Chain A
Amino acid sequence: MENFPWPHKDLLDVDGLSIAESQHLLDTAEQFQEINSRAVKKVPALRGKGVILFFAENSTRTKTSFDIAAKRLSADTFSLGKNDSSLTKGESLKDTALTLQAMSPDIIVIRHALSGAASFLSDKVDSSIVNAGDGWHAHPTQALLDAYTLRKYWRDKNQTMQGKSLLIVGDVAHSRVARSNIKLMTALGLQVRIFAPKTLLPKGAEHWPVQIFDSLDKAVRDADAVMCLRLQLERQAAGLLPHLSEYAEKFCLTRRLMDLAAPGAPVLHPGPMNRGLEVADDLADSSASLVLDQVSAGVAVRMAVLFLLGTRKSGAFPA
């Protein structure tokens, strides 16, 4: 791999990345994907580096993905979770940050329920910060792995991402996945469409460079790919939706709807899926689903992120 100077200390969101940087990150991930298919899935790229996985909000998939990614690069990983004592004892995020800093990690991966928590941490510590999801704000590695998945899907068909349309459907208002994807996908040349019931469409969405649809049927029509968002069940309790069965009835992505999309259009979902609520059971298991490709891409993309941040001074790449 040629030496590409990586100017960023942190990955807080995708809007800090230039198009060339995003493409380089995806290219780097592609090389790591190859490592993931080897019998010995480990390279010494981050040997001696420490990565703290600070997950103050529950997460199994993202945390495991980062953990595997770090270990395959030979970094040492340390976990701090929601139920660990300092957090349950009411330590402020500032003090947690300073405590983590004192342990001299090279990279801190943070997942937090509050928007802006990753940037708060970044202001407090010298370590590189990777935002693994903060509130409703950003989830850059999810957007990058989604971009990776789609890029590969279309490349395998000798197509490019340029000009393709991607529909994001579901609870856009409360979705960091949607926010980061809208930024990254539009930067990479896709046309992003969104559809959400009006209570789940954020006020001000017209500021986004997206097409907003008021009917799911119209939104799906001729879409080149569809990304379904997870519906948090607490939205119903918050009075944003009537009974969930109505959501399933009116807004669930089904095979019938996908028949309106461009032929062969794939379906993505950040997981975990609520089958039968936002995505039909049979559709989730169909050949259109790229959900498992996304999971697999997640490890490669996170390896790329950790590698680029962890080696940005030395610039060395493992043979």
Chain B
Amino acid sequence: MHEPDSKFMLRNCLRKHKNDSAENLYDLLVVEGKIAELAPAGALTPPREAAVYDAGGRQLFPSFIDAHVHLRDPGFEYKEDMQSGLCAAVHGGFGAVMAMANTNPVNDKGAVTGFIREKAARICPRGPRVYPVGALSVGLMGEELAPMGELAEAGAVAISNDGRPVQNNELFRRAVEYAASFGLKVIDHCEDADIAHNWQINEGGGSLHTGLKGQPSVGEAVQVARDILFAEYLNLPIHLAHISCRQSTDLIRWAKVRGVPVTAETCPHYLLLDDAKLHSYNTNFKVSPPLRTSADVAALVQAVQDGTIDILVTDHAPHAAYEKDTPFDESPRGFIGLETAVPLTSALFSAELLEELWCKKPAEIFKLPRNNFAPGDPADFFLFDLETPWVVNRDNIHSKSLNSPWLGQTMQGKIVAHWLGGTQIFSCEDSLCLPKPL
């Protein structure tokens, strides 16, 4: 990281538009940490004393927002800590992350929320920003409402039970209502705890082949249905976490037609991987909810394209190597995802849709600031080089953990530089893709 130039221009940034056959190059002017202007290449004259960099035709994106991350800090710093997690985030293109509450202690108190925010600000004063998500119930135990007013005051931006499904419908209803009193939205990890007891894998061909205990996709869908009914009845918003199956997308599509205030997210892995990957018991493919069938994968891609699914999240869930090097049943669930998300999803969706899924809509749903490249917006942006391949391995991953289903595989496209508040947080200085001062 170097000190911010008070004024600088980044020339020859590629911006792709859905309806343009041509790819357009732009110049970006940043002044005092804010966007001053984005204009077609060559249209701007750099102000006197402004440093000028050449983006070399690499794609310019506003910093993305990951609304579902497990930073593991406090309590599980051997898996990830604030430093490593935020380093992974910024290298993955994320300028802001929402940190889930299943830390130790659980983030069910204002003091924990405050600790997370203060630690993030201390370690990464220029960002990425961390927006804590408060627990829905005390200790995430699903018995007693967490003090949401206190959590909101301390800076929690949403409420979630992530990782611990709320089985008690009455408690869930009251949580949605009470959270709304403080302007907080409930994010629900939809999973019926009885149907999905001790599961290891999607129920169907995968469980049949491996002899592992299955979780049927209806275990998710019954709670999606419950949440839709509550959202409509209460006329209060509910955000549905990491949707993984066709039945859920069908229900959400139906709900949206009815005008029910639900929003939904999915993760890159549900758009790319199916349960056939699990036949070899590779624990790096074990995740919650489980990878479903190829038909579910197709349904999710469709649901993202037609707007049924509002946003993408990584559900970045680091685990130590020794925790994953076990028989399948003993392995914890979850993947790291911050650093692979952009290359993976850039292969699926247009640049314009990526911006909506990873930036515009999460900012809207959770009322977070974002860069829309309008004058005065925070100068949070990154350059993405679609031409650069890289391998998912210890040398290239900044997260403390390596539990990725893409471990050892080649990603196409690399984030080569990232600025937050006009400050360059990193650039790949050793590579040819460094934006050089002219």
Residues on A facing B (Cβ under 8 Å): 92-94, 112, 114-117, 119-120, 134-138, 176, 179, 202-205, 207-208
* Further contacts, 16 of them, CB under 8 A, given A137-B212, A203-B216, A207-B205: A92-B325, A114-B328, A115-B200, A115-B210, A115-B211, A115-B212, A116-B329, A119-B280, A120-B327, A136-B211, A136-B213, A137-B211, A179-B211, A202-B208, A204-B205, A204-B208
List, in ascending order, chain A residues with CB within 8 A of B204's CB: 203-204
CB-CB contacts below 8 Å: B320-373 with A:
322, 325-330
Question: Residue A208 contacts which of B208, B212, B281 (CB distance < 8 angstroms)?
Answer: B208
11 A–B contacts, CB within 8 A, in A order: A92-B330, A112-B327, A114-B327, A114-B328, A116-B329, A119-B280, A136-B211, A137-B211, A179-B211, A203-B216, A207-B208
Of all A-B residue pairs in the complex, the 5 with the closest CB atoms, nearest first, are A137-B211, A136-B211, A116-B281, A115-B211, A204-B208
Docked CA distance A63–B29 (Å): 75
Contact of A120 with B208 in the complex, beta carbons under 8 Å? no
List, in ascending order, chain B residues with CB within 8 A of A137's CB: 210-212
Docked CA distance A15–B78 (Å): 40
In whole Å, how far is B286's beta carbon from the nearest beta carbon of chain A?
A: 11
Question: Per-residue 0/1 for B201-224: is the Cβ within 8 Å of any A Cβ (1 yes, 0 no)?
Answer: 001111110111110100000000
Docked CA distance A205–B328 (Å): 22
Question: Per-residue 0/1 for B260-272: is the Cβ within 8 Å of any A Cβ (1 yes, 0 no)?
Answer: 0000000000000
In whole Å, how far is A89's beta carbon from the nearest beta carbon of chain B?
A: 16
Contact of B208 with A115 in the complex, beta carbons under 8 Å? no
Contact of B327 with A93 in the complex, beta carbons under 8 Å? yes
How many chain B residues touch A (Cβ–Cβ < 8 Å)?
22
Contact of A135 with B211 in the complex, beta carbons under 8 Å? yes
Question: Residue A117 contacts which of B200, B206, B322, B327 (CB distance < 8 angstroms)?
Answer: B327
In whole Å, how far is A315's beta carbon from the nearest beta carbon of chain B?
A: 30
**CB closest residue in chain B, given A137:** B211
In whole Å, how far is B193's beta carbon from the nearest beta carbon of chain A?
A: 14
Tell which of A114, A115, A134, A203 has the most Cβ of chain B within 10 Å. Answer: A115
List, in ascending order, chain B residues with CB within 8 A of A94's CB: 322, 325-326
Contact of B326 with A203 in the complex, beta carbons under 8 Å? no
Q: In the complex where A92-B326, A94-B325 touch, is A203 in contact with B207 (Cβ < 8 A)?
A: yes
Contact of A116 with B208 in the complex, beta carbons under 8 Å? no
Q: In the complex where A116-B281, A119-B281, A135-B212 touch, is A204 in contact with B207 (Cβ < 8 A)?
A: yes
Contact of A116 with B205 in the complex, beta carbons under 8 Å? no
In whole Å, how far is A57's beta carbon from the nearest beta carbon of chain B?
A: 12
List, in ascending order, chain A residues with CB within 8 A of B326's CB: 92-94, 120
Docked CA distance A202–B214 (Å): 9
Contact of B203 with A116 in the complex, beta carbons under 8 Å? no
Question: Residue B207 contacts which of A92, A117, A176, A202 (CB distance < 8 angstroms)?
Answer: A202
List, in ascending order, chain A residues with CB within 8 A of B200's CB: 115
List, in ascending order, chain A residues with CB within 8 A of B280's CB: 119
Contact of B203 with A134 in the complex, beta carbons under 8 Å? no
Tell which of A112, A116, A119, A203 has the most Cβ of chain B within 10 Å. Answer: A116
Contact of B210 with A116 in the complex, beta carbons under 8 Å? yes
List, in ascending order, chain B residues with CB within 8 A of A115's CB: 200, 210-212, 281, 328-329
List, in ascending order, chain B residues with CB within 8 A of A134's CB: 211
Docked CA distance A202–B209 (Å): 10
Contact of B329 with A114 in the complex, beta carbons under 8 Å? yes
Tell which of B204, B205, B214, B328 has the most Cβ of chain A within 10 Å. Answer: B328
Docked CA distance A119–B279 (Å): 11
Q: In the complex where A92-B322, A116-B281 touch, is A203 in contact with B327 (Cβ < 8 A)?
A: no
**CB closest residue in chain A, given B216:** A203
Question: Residue A120 contacts which of B205, B281, B322 (CB distance < 8 angstroms)?
Answer: B281
Docked CA distance A202–B205 (Å): 10
List, in ascending order, chain A residues with CB within 8 A of B322's CB: 92, 94
Question: Residue B330 contacts which of A114, A119, A176 (CB distance < 8 angstroms)?
Answer: A114
Contact of A205 with B211 in the complex, beta carbons under 8 Å? no
Contact of B214 with A203 in the complex, beta carbons under 8 Å? yes
Docked CA distance A61–B306 (Å): 58
Contact of B327 with A205 in the complex, beta carbons under 8 Å? no
Docked CA distance A42–B398 (Å): 59
**CB closest residue in chain B, given A202:** B208
CB-CB contacts below 8 Å: B368-422 with A:
none
In whole Å, how far is A299's beta carbon from the nearest beta carbon of chain B?
A: 26
Docked CA distance A205–B200 (Å): 18
Docked CA distance A93–B326 (Å): 7
Docked CA distance A213–B60 (Å): 60
Docked CA distance A225–B212 (Å): 28
Question: Residue A203 contacts which of B208, B210, B328 (CB distance < 8 angstroms)?
Answer: B208
List, in ascending order, chain B residues with CB within 8 A of A203's CB: 203-204, 207-208, 214, 216
In whole Å, how far is B302's beta carbon from the nearest beta carbon of chain A?
A: 23
List, in ascending order, chain A residues with CB within 8 A of B206's CB: 204
Docked CA distance A179–B210 (Å): 10
**CB closest residue in chain B, given A121:** B327
CB-CB contacts below 8 Å: B97-146 with A:
none
Docked CA distance A115–B206 (Å): 12
In whole Å, how far is A14's beta carbon from the nearest beta carbon of chain B?
A: 13
Contact of A116 with B212 in the complex, beta carbons under 8 Å? yes
In whole Å, how far is B254's beta carbon from the nearest beta carbon of chain A?
A: 25
List, in ascending order, chain B residues with CB within 8 A of A207's CB: 205, 208
**CB closest residue in chain A, given B208:** A204
List, in ascending order, chain B residues with CB within 8 A of A176's CB: 211
Contact of B214 with A116 in the complex, beta carbons under 8 Å? no
CB-CB contacts below 8 Å: B66-87 with A:
none
List, in ascending order, chain B residues with CB within 8 A of A116's CB: 210-212, 281, 327-329
Question: Per-residue 0/1 for B176-209: is the Cβ within 8 Å of any A Cβ (1 yes, 0 no)?
Answer: 0000000000000000000000001001111110
List, in ascending order, chain A residues with CB within 8 A of B329's CB: 114-116, 135
In whole Å, how far is B197's beta carbon from the nearest beta carbon of chain A?
A: 9
Tell which of A93, A114, A136, A179 has the most Cβ of chain B within 10 Å. Answer: A114
